[in-house]
Structure 1
Amino acid sequence: MRIVVMGPSGSGKSLVGAAVAAALRAEFIDGDDLHPRANIAKMSAGVALTDADRAPWLDAVAAALHRPRIVVACSALRRAYRDRIRSLAPGTVFVELVVPPAQLRTRVSRRDHFMPATLIDSQLATLEPLASDEAGFRVANDADLPAVVARITALVTGQSLR
């Protein structure tokens, strides 16, 4: 089981990802913890990452996905990033958390994190939603945590919601 909970900053990747991992009795890794220090410094300064900045981070995410029963929170905003992860960690399923842009800005502005709210627009400009030919699901993060986790676990395990 290899799952990436993806989306822009403020979409709930870490909170939802950890809860999904707990529900599935899997390990959870926050992709933010895999960023090189230089990436964190750039984002903290309000500078968007380039694809070259992201490459070693995406490789680290893919390496983490080789652990058994793993859920990783990772923005994976572009198809090329997801393709890179999939090429290094075949069988990875992506769960894109969908949240309205205004709500993303509000969430990010209220938290203590290296990613400032000023970078939300660059993330949204970069975002390529999960395509129908990609292994995974788009899930609205529009309910309480247990309901969102139930949706996701039902989708990834092939169960129907009752």
Structure 2
Amino acid sequence: MPGTSGRLSLDLIKCSAKRISAPATCTEADLRRATSDLYYALFHALCEELAQLVAEAPTDVGYRDTFIMLYRMPNHGPVVQRCRDAISRSDMTTVQKEFAETLMTMKAKRDLADYDPFAVFNISEVSNDLMNVTRTLNRFLAEKEKERRRLALFLGLDVRRAR
């Protein structure tokens, strides 16, 4: 998978940590970008899991196109709605629900960071978000592969229910 760590999601955690590593010189822009990075770390973890559905045969014809199609399939709005659904389901694990809840929370914070010029961010809150997202992502990555993929399919596919 592309990226220095093999996972863009983990690289985005590192970017967020680096942005807030020097509190004395940390700017409002650093705090906003760190917040956005944290949301995207979770979102890309979801995309990475979907794309891994084809990772078994990277030499097959069409692999790259299929990988990219699966990676880009999740849409931010429907993913948040599916997170709400996942949290209320009894067949989701505690870790899956934690991932969905944290993704939903960070999406709201990312929207403020990227689109609300009056929103105020402080380093202690962003530091707490960094710890929470890192813990959530590590717990998610430690889940069994089939459970990670099941959540990724549930959240990432915008499936309309038949009525």
TM-score (norm. length: structure 1): 0.28
More helix as a share of residues: 2
Compute the TM-score of the two structures, normalised by the length of structure 2. 0.28
